[in-house]
Amino acid sequence: MTAAAVTSPPRRHRRLEAARDFAVRFSSRTDGVVGLAILLVFAILAIAPQLFVGPLETAVTATGSSLEAPSAAHLLGTDELGRDILNLTVHGARISMTIGFLATLITIALGAGIGIMSGYLGGKADALLMWLTDVFLVLPNFVLAIALAPILLDIIGAQAELFGIRATLLVIVVVIGVTSWATTARIIRSQVLSLKERMFVDRARVIGTGSGRIMRRHILPNVVNLIVAQSVLTFAYAVFTETSLSFIGLGDPFAPSWGEILAAAQSAGAPGLLAWWYIAAPAVSVVLVVVAFTLVGNALDDLLNPKSAVRR
Amino acid sequence: MTAERGDILKVTDLRTYFPVRSGGFIPRVIGQVKAVDGVSLNIGPGETLGLVGESGSGKTTVARSILLLAHPTSGKIEIDGQDITHLSSAALLPVRRKAQMIFQDPYNALNPRHTVGTIISAPFRIQGVVPPGGVKAAVAEMMERVGLNPEHYNRYPNEFSGGQRQRIGIARAIALRPKLIVCDEPVSALDVSIQAQIVNLLRDLQQEFGISYLFVAHDLAVVRQISHRVAVMYLGKLMEQAPRKTIYTAPLHPYTHSLLSAVPIPDPSLQKRRSRIMLEGDLPSPINPPSGCVFRTRCFQAQERCASEVPPLTEVEPGHLVACHFPVAEPPAAAASTVAAQAD
């Protein structure tokens, strides 16, 4: 037989098959499917809010009067400036989800990178990186975020723009990323410690594969399941943290994220005026997104963990 | 020793210790596991040296040390005349073409996320070698040579049986036409019927390419099938080394005798009647090995002298080395001679 006879189903086809197989198994998890459905709704809202509620209302373009209760014209009522709450909440989805997404990227990149290097390299590098991780792990994240946000903002300048994103938003992204990677690093390191004793790593070393390549080609693909599950959980945490930071006034007052709406409701005295709709819409959105991500994350964690599921 | 000149592998006084650290905030080294403690070996071109010993004797550490997967504490490792003991990983890269390894557990030794084609072609990519006719053709040829279907190029390791996986490992090891392959218990995880196939494959490859093997195993019957010479290890030290026939018919070390008497005979009536040497107790701790001869705590020949004096590995006849004060001169139990008779 010669090379020309090497005809097996191409790799892409096999990957597709594996993906379909995975979709079937995922669809049998009710919690995961419910979570995914909720996320899809919010994702669509975040991608094209104008399609559903028109352009973002401002004090100038407000369509109602001050603090109207929910009615046919304003399904979720209005705020103290007469802006439609539904309009604000839907537009807030975009800001909250974008921040969640970017913060998750930073968290996972830092966490996976540090976890893999620490676990694989071992020795002094491991000791140093894990010391750093422990420091971030024991520091209360939220307090650190509160302390970091104004400092970073001062360094960058509140009016500056980086990559077309306003600095205030970027600061929140960085703060969330910097304060939440430690758990991911720990989890991934523990998996790497067991992976690097597997013989395929020895086998790679025997043919002269360098450490960097082993980490990329042999270790990383085998921790992807952890990374996926961690990303989803981190996303939930990031949305929650963004809301909290905005609520206490460390967000971007010009971007109507859910946290900003809640902060505005607070300063407008919504609780005292019994304007429950002002608080309910953004709060329920945050809770829904966090719960949905957690549901999906747990389902993925169970399905992707080779030890917990019986696989073919 | 037989081949002094042109040795493919020469190991001189190899010691590989692993530090034992105390727990706590600032760990201290509180001891050494002497996994390999002064082992010297040599293998000529096209020759197979069997390395046997029970679990914990340090044979796998010898194998790993030779390819610098475990770092030797002292001693010298020469591959094809070149001292590689202290080479940097960059300087080691060309040496890796000459010396390859086959691993014990075929389930663990293949990356589950890589296809067979990726696994077997990796040596070409890492070493930057382009074989004539291209990598893919070379891989297909290699797969066919070791008895795999080249059409399975894009399959993942979990779709193969243990024996097939070991063939994948062998294909990868011979890809760069090495002069030496260190086989670390290559068949002990496989069924007996598959073991024979793999051993035969290794023998055929040796004839075809003139590869030298260091064949690590704990099964004397398997070692008999493939080795030209056999070395016996116990607790990090060599006990005896001799040509295959001598080891099976005229061993001198009490430990070799006891190993041979543990080989089962496929005849129940013989098996019942044979007198077996039963070793008492377990392997002593390599952190704190016995004084003098390390085997004395379980040896039926042991006397006072064994506790005070380390028996040196001495050549009692050409090619036959023994480390024992009181070697057993009588032929081994009936079982072993039957085994040996089958071998020749």
CA distance B278 to B275: 9
Binary contact (A1, B140; C-beta < 8 A): yes
Beta bridge pairs of residue B184: B216
Q: What is the rounded average pLDDT for all residues in chain B?
A: 87
Min Cα separation B126/chain A (Å): 6
Give residue B344's pLDDT band: very low, low, confident or very high (50, 70, 90).
Answer: very low
First to last CA, chain A: 31
Instruction: Give the residue-averaged pLDDT of A286-302.
Output: 87
The residue type at B334: A
Chain B partners of A210 at a C-beta cutoff of 8 Å? 89
Q: Which residues, 6+ apart, have CB-to-CB distance to A53 below 8 Å?
A: A84, A86, A87, A90, A91
CB contacts under 8 A, A 10-69 vs B, are: 10-11, 14
Instruction: Give the residue-averaged pLDDT of A81-100.
Output: 88
Any B CB within 8 A of A123 CB: no
CA distance B256 to B220: 10
Chain A partners of B111 at a C-beta cutoff of 8 Å? 200, 204, 218, 221-222
**Beta-carbon neighbour count of residue A48 at 10 Å?**
10
Determine the 3-state secondary structure of A64 from DSSP: coil
Task: Provide the greatest CA pair distance for chain B.
Answer: 66
**Tens of pLDDT, residues A182-237:** 999 999 999 999 988 888 888 888 888 888 999 998 899 888 888 888 888 888 88
Binary contact (A8, B134; C-beta < 8 A): no
With residues binned 3-state (H G I as helix, E B as strand, rest as coil), the percentages for chain A, rounded to 5, are 70, 0, 25
Give residue A7's pLDDT band: very low, low, confident or very high (50, 70, 90).
Answer: very low
CA distance B85 to B72: 8
Structure tokens of B310? 């380390």
- Give the range among A109-123, B13-27, B169-183 with minimum mean pLDDT: B13-27
The per-residue DSSP string of B232-285 comes to EEETTEEEEEEEHHHHHHS--SHHHHHHHHTSPPS-HHHHHHS---PPPS-PPP
**Tens of pLDDT, residues A33-48:** 999 999 999 999 888 8
Q: Which residues, 6+ apart, have CB-to-CB distance to A178 below 8 Å?
A: A106, A110, A136, A144, A148
Structure tokens of B75? 């001693």
Min Cα separation A110/chain B (Å): 23
Any B CB within 8 A of A210 CB: yes
Structure tokens of A251? 């967000």
CA distance A196 to A191: 9
Any B CB within 8 A of A159 CB: no
CA distance B256 to B248: 9
Binary contact (B93, A208; C-beta < 8 A): yes
CA distance A288 to A49: 18
Residue A93 CB-density burial (10 A; 0-12 exposed, 13-18 middle, 19+ buried)? buried
- Does residue B99 have a pLDDT over 90? yes
Closest-CA residue of B relative to A221 is B113
- Backbone conformation region of residue B38, classed left if phi is above 0, alpha if psi is from -120 to 50, else beta: left
- Give the range among A75-79, A278-282, B60-64, B275-279 with minimum mean pLDDT: B275-279
Q: Are B158 and B188 in contact (CB under 8 A)?
A: no
Residue A300 CB-density burial (10 A; 0-12 exposed, 13-18 middle, 19+ buried)? buried
Predicted local distance difference test score (pLDDT) of residue B333:
61
Q: What is the rounded average pLDDT for all residues in chain A?
A: 83
CA distance A261 to A86: 11
Min Cα separation A227/chain B (Å): 15
The per-residue DSSP string of B133-194 comes to T-HHHHHHHHHHHTT--GGGGG--GGGS-HHHHHHHHHHHHHTT--SEEEEESSSTTS-HHH
Determine the 3-state secondary structure of B130 from DSSP: coil
CA distance B148 to B145: 7
Secondary structure element (H or E) that encloses residue A31, with its range: helix A30-47
**Tens of pLDDT, residues B293-320:** 999 998 888 888 999 889 999 999 999 9
